[in-house]
Structure 1
């Protein structure tokens, strides 16, 4: 059978979802044709320009405006603004015949069955047989959409439900129609995971599929629980946020962002279409929601929802919260509960659930009711919405940003304890749970040989979750593959001669224990292995150096100790580069400051597309001191061409640090010179990252890796560059763009990157630049304003401009 390849995609409908999907296909290098309807009348400005309804600019106005609005939106739908050139726009009258060239047609028009059917009828006239055709619906049954279409159409048709925004939310639900071929389902499942970077979940054709059915049940049951327990919206957001591994926006803030109308639309759809659901009344909207809808309090888009931002007389702004009884806005209320205090020292979210349900306060009562209701509901959705319990967990993690799915949470509190929570509510779990328990099976999941197995209900035994062979899951191998461990890192044997060093500190910040662990890992790898990966699967790769430690040493004026600590960091980064084995760093999420400096010193980088990388030290009043300032000077020197304006090259690299630029994706990090084209690679699916980094290290070792020779040929420009930088910082301060202290930091950086005040351009060693960098870093930690910046960052988590 011939291999299916996706080189061109046609997206029909350019609304928020359609444009977002088009942008994400552009992100992965696919050519996109984006089509929408032709406007029926002219705007005032079009009339003033003398345009007619026949002009192309008018005919493509809707699609072009929608795409431009998407591209400008935040967070950005594109990994890089240049990727927009991969999208061509058109309209459904003049350009529909072009869909014959597409390998996949995705319909994203309004959620009305009659309109969708009409679109499909029209598309079928132009579609090439064998082409994939899918609908991004969030609730209309797939079986109705392809009625009356040809055999070939129905065989290649199914639902592909992306979550909004398509670049950032990982859930990709695939919903077969009555005649969808297995080949199409298998292809989309693999394509979603490998190319689109998604968690692909094949769902059944039931109302709202998996993610929204469970997610909306969760939100709606909270709406009812809030009233029953007399909780405030701030209390619920405190209880349902990061403490249980959910997004910071928790419940009510999330609804404000998504839009209350969107939630109501889906909830009403479920209510109407699942009359036999045992929790049918949960999907009925409470009065306060109906009143908010009447008032058009839809959230962020209407300026107010559960929260409302107001300006005070003194110009400051504050956030008011909605009182759900009086439906009036009032001052925000702080929420605190004794049970939550007990979890503060528990870093791993999964270990908190037992504590959360075990307390005596209102918070624990809330969790017992909330989890008990959720456990009962998900157990009874099998086999209605899916046959496999892991798919429910996958959908909630990938579509709603939960760190742990319902069955994982149930395992964490214990199957027996979960059944008790259900029974306390006067409910009962699905019969299969009781049967599983009686058969002596104590958990929904188990780990064997580095792979996760789930309890398969029909087979009554554990079955390996499919698709894991392309992944390395550190949680599953940590204990069995551990080679070394200290308080900051775990070093694991990934197999095939490659070692991994995984940070385990708070937010993966880099302190003495992490550096000691990194050096130990290099020692072990040089002696007994062929390569080293620096990678983890935390929320972020690393937020940088432990600034609390730097602050304490600086306040105590322990400059010898501080000098030694900075030198240790520099030496550790240099060891990454000059070890006898290949080193690969695998950044993802926030990779800031010291985390970025480590990335800069690896032999190769395998970055997740969603990597936010930058040297942000200016924000805390210092310059990069772990080799970052040296490295940007070296990289500038490596780009100097004969007769080039070398100062301009150096200035670009200087500004990367001076403006604390952070890339909003790995692709943008090529622009800042932090990632290097042709050497460093970007991977779309983060689940594959450690396996890909291991493969790169293995390949380098197999190709005869030789330890690099230390560099003594870094060209620095001396006084010529220094003069230019100092004039620049003077004028920036004079124009009030930067403060006096900003200027002082920038001038110190300028001195390092110019190689000091040498009278003429010279070739210097890396060590020469590292010494200048360390000296500048230390002198800045003696400044009162730097200490103020460090302290502000530690206490408030935000940079101070002083």
Structure 2
């Protein structure tokens, strides 16, 4: 049966319900969001003379919840305009409307009797054959569908989103006892392709996979923290990005999520897991129990492991809990020998192995927590999952880990780690010993370009299902598909006569090595391949040009070197635009400055939905000079039609650059002019490179021909200069900008106007490139620009001077 999801009904508008509704709206689905009818009027409604029968009152709960979600940050919608795709209502008046909907998702409170009562009502109106799922985080499927019709049970499953649904990639899919396997296949595929999720098939066991393992890791870690006498800041320093986990680490994450949520899951697991060999680890240690009893649950209660003190003079001061006194103290700056010694280790896998084996308190903490988690996960198969890769997928996607438990175990070496674990009293499951005895030394390996996992029943390695649809650079590296490389970039063969260029500098900044890589990749593609994909698997696509090199040249007044550097950068961007093969750029997360400029010059962009793109050079006292200013002027010219108010469009692009405007999504980047109609958006990051490759092949097979440089770019000269000057002067007099801001803005205005031409004139791309390079070069000689660059490089924050 072919299913198309055009309309989704969300039952329950709380934090999760509203945010799930927003994410469906993000992908173009029509959403009906419902909640209960209030039982009494509030003070404001009474003053207005409203009654319980008024629609505004009856929909108050759902409307207030959606409004709260719209105000929350980070934003749940890619574009605020998408709110029009959501219609609100209430269970009493609007539940019958679900008969016209393709999928109904229940997201009410975690109480079985409430869910069962709602499902009884749903059965009266739901169209047979349509999807019905629950967003429960732990209530068993078989209990929720008791007493329901055969059709309900066949089409019923659990779809557990993680909060916030737009950003956290996990979607756990849990079959009920009678769920049609075809429904599960559909949900797994739809979640992946359309919702951009890591869809993980779970068994109907307590807390499913991610929370079962993730909460165990948290509470088990708390016992270790209490025993070792570690403090809040010490732990967050040890458990964040340094080992490939979320920046919010342990305690900040618990404050954001809410300590009550974690505790409730842990308590429920302790009650229900009578046969779990590590059940006692779910008992709350004192450092958790004390805060829970005090109702210091984190952000929702104003204090938790951290507390923000707001002084009368407006200052904010962050404090952390002292586990000895349970009073708040100054946030500490922890120091560990292990962390100091690992600073120069950029490779995460090498750093993890180094830290776990380091002989100090940090190393002891890592060994204690890693070994305990490894043991626990080994015993969960086949209880919560038949395949070990599902545990890694769920934990990584749900908790933001770079590597899951079994992947970390591989990093440390399976056999040697088992020996150390058992010496420490941590007994692994028998199947791990069998695996080692059979000569299988790892949980994963790469063969013939495929990533394989160890399959326990067959005692052999099998491909991870669905991975064949992805391009994974780490796998290509292991499969010896690398064609060329230098210190900052690598070129891989992606298959089907397409090659790919990856950056791997710090923050993927565009230094000389990356520029060499771009030129080399284009030359190779022009000679022997159908086209080129430029993308990577780093945290960010690119934070922009290498400011450190520029700062060094500017400080030494090596202006000839700067001129050559910028000319080379411009030439490379233009080569990406005017090569004889299609070049597709695949930006994700941050694509700033030079990273944005490279995207602007691609034949097409395959952007990830989470795209923070912008020309941000203004913040360091410069203007875009890698073709960014030229390109936005060119796009203005190409978009202007007879009758348009030209200056308004040009001024919009000018302000985007002058305010260093960064998109908060790929959809917003399109609205800002950074993406065009020809550019596409990928929801699932794992599919991005494969879809970029498909776009290269599509362009090639459509008969790609080398473009010709534009010589007919319309610039407005003195007309636009006068408009820009008026705005700059007004902002300066109003003290909204500094004198240096005004100087930079005038340089930008000069370039985007084409100089002080007496009338509208058509100019070439090279003309504008020369203007922007000249303006950029002059600004590098400004002391205040150097001060701004210095602040970013050495203090990590922008300077307004």
Tell me which residue corresponds to 2:287.
288
Does 2:748 align with 1:749?
Answer: yes
* Aligned equivalents of 1:799, 1:303: Cα separation in 2: 29
Which residue is 2:708 aligned to?
709
Q: Is the 8 A contact 1:489 1:513 kept in 2?
A: yes
Deviation at 1:50, TM superposition (A): 1.4
Paired residue for 1:141?
140
Q: What's 1:600 paired with?
A: 600
Deviations 1:741-793, CA, capped at 9 Å, x for gaps: 11111111011101111111100011010011011111111111111110110
Equivalence map 1:321-332=2 (5 Å): 321-332=320-331
1:420 partnered with 2:419:
yes
What is the rounded CA distance, in whole Å, between the counterparts of 2:75 and 2:312 in structure 1?
Answer: 34
Change (3 A) 1:314 1:123: closer
Kept after mapping to 2: 8 A contact 1:373/1:425: no
Give the corresponding residue for 1:622.
622
Q: CA deviation at 1:321?
A: 1.2
Q: Is 1:20 aligned to 2:5, yes or no?
A: no
Q: 8 Å contact 1:320–1:332 — kept in the other structure?
A: yes
What secondary structure does 2:125 align onto? coil
**Secondary structure at 1:125 match in 2:** helix
1:264 aligns to what?
263
Question: Hey, what does 1:408 align to over in structure 2?
Answer: 407
Structure 2 residue 456 is the aligned partner of structure 1 residue 465:
no
TM-score by length of 1: 0.99
Whether the aligned pair in 2 keeps the contact of 1:712 and 1:766 (CA below 8 Å) is: yes
**Map of 2:699 onto structure 1:** 700
- Where do 5+ consecutive residues of structure 1 fail to align? none
Give the Cα separation in 1 of the matches to 2:498 and 2:16: 42
1:482 and 1:490 in contact (8 A); partners too: yes
Deviations 1:526-572, CA, capped at 9 Å, x for gaps: 11111111111111100100111111110011100011001111110
Report the alpha carbon displacement of residue 289 of structure 1 after superposing the two structures with TM.
Answer: 2.1
Q: Does the Cα contact within 8 Å between 2:580 and 2:705 map onto a contact in 1?
A: yes
Structure-to-structure mapping, 1:25-174, within 5 angstroms: 25-174=24-173
**1:476-517 CA deviation, whole Å, 9 max, x = no partner?**
113522121111111111111211111111111100110011
| Shift in Å, 1:296 | 2.0
CA drift at 1:267: 1.1
**For the Cα contact (< 8 Å) 2:507–2:542, is it kept in 1?**
yes
Deviation string for 1:439-484 (max 9, x for gaps)? 1110000112222110001111101100112211111113522121
Instruction: Give the C-alpha shift of residue 181 in structure 1.
Output: 1.2
Q: Aligned residue for 2:193?
A: 194
Structure 2 gaps of 5+ residues are: none
1:206 matched to 2:205? The reply is yes
Please tell me whether the aligned partners of residues 139 and 269 of structure 1 are also in contact (alpha carbons under 8 angstroms). Answer: no
Q: Deviations over 1:646-667 (max 9, x none)?
A: 1111101101101111111000
2:506 equivalent to 1:506: yes
Q: Which residue of 2 aligns with 1:175?
A: 174
Within 5 Å, which residues of 2 pair with 1:543-562?
543-562=543-562
Contact 2:226 2:287 in 1 (8 A): no
Q: Is the 8 A contact 2:12 2:107 kept in 1?
A: yes
Query: What's the offset of the Cα at 1:581?
Result: 0.7
* Offset, 1:314: 6.1
Residues 1:362 and 2:350 are matched in the alignment: no
Q: Tell me the residue number matched to 1:732.
A: 731
* Partner Cα separation in structure 1 for residue 249 and residue 602 of structure 2: 37
TM-superposed deviation, 1:644:
2.0
CA distance in 2, matches of 1:520, 1:269: 58
Separation in 1 of the partners of 2:684 and 2:795?
Answer: 33
Contact 2:32 2:87 in 1 (8 A): yes
Task: Summarize deviations over 1:90-113 as a string: whole Å, max 9, x none.
Answer: 110111111111111100000000
Q: 1:350 touches 1:404 (CA, 8 Å); kept in 2?
A: no
Partner of 2:564: 564
**8 Å contact from structure 1 (residues 371, 421) kept in 2:** no
Q: Secondary structure at the match of 1:88?
A: strand
The equivalent of 2:382 in structure 1 is 383
Deviation, 1:317, is 2.6
Who is 1:610 aligned against?
Answer: 610
2:672 counterpart residue number: 672
- Paired residue for 1:723? 722
**Paired residue for 1:481?**
481
Which residue is equivalent to 2:576? Answer: 576
Q: Residues of 2 paired with 1:151 and 1:441: CA distance?
A: 45
Preserved contact between residue 103 and residue 131 of structure 2 (Cα < 8 Å):
yes
For residues 422 and 122 of structure 1, the distance between their equivalents in structure 2, rounded to whole angstroms, comes to 53
**Distance in 2 of aligned mates of 1:334 and 1:11:** 45
Q: For 1:642 and 1:127, locate their aligned partners in 2 and report how far apart those are by CA, in whole Å.
A: 52
Cα offset, 1:316, TM superposition: 3.4
Rounded Cα–Cα distance in structure 2 between residues aligned with 1:127 and 1:348: 52
Structure 1 position 11, deviation (Å)? 0.5
CA-to-aligned-CA distance 1:95-140 (integer Å, 9 cap, x gap): 1111111111100000000000000010011111111111100011
Deviation at 1:312, TM superposition (A): 4.9
> Equivalent residue for 1:11?
10
User: Which residue is 2:758 aligned to?
Assistant: 759
SS in 2 for 1:712: coil
**Quick one: distance in 1 between partners of 2:585 and 2:36?**
47
**Deviation string for 1:123-161 (max 9, x for gaps)?**
011111111111100011111000000111111111110
SS of residue in 2 equivalent to 1:175: strand
Aligned length: 800
Q: RMSD in angstroms over aligned alpha carbons? A: 1.1
For 1:619 and 1:483, the matched residues in 2 are separated by 37
1:492 maps to 2:492:
yes
Q: How many Å separate the matches in 1 of 2:79 and 2:350?
A: 38
Please name the residue that 1:431 is paired with: 430
**Partner residue in 2 for 1:306:** 305
Q: Which residue of 2 aligns with 1:587?
A: 587
- Tell me how far 1:341 sits from its aligned partner: 2.1
How much has 1:71 moved relative to structure 2? Answer: 1.5
- The structural deviation recorded for 1:46 is 1.1
What's the offset of the Cα at 1:272? 1.1
Does 2:318 match 1:319? yes
Please report how far the alpha carbon of residue 342 of structure 1 lies from its aligned counterpart in structure 2 after TM superposition: 2.5
CA distance in 1, matches of 2:477, 2:277: 41
The answer to whether the 8 Å contact 1:246/1:402 transfers is: yes
Deviation, 1:704, is 0.8
Report how far residue 315 of structure 1 moved. Answer: 4.6
Does 2:635 correspond to 1:635? yes
Check the 8 A contact 1:342/1:355 in 2, yes or no. no
Decide whether the 8 Å contact of 1:488 with 1:503 is kept in 2. Answer: yes
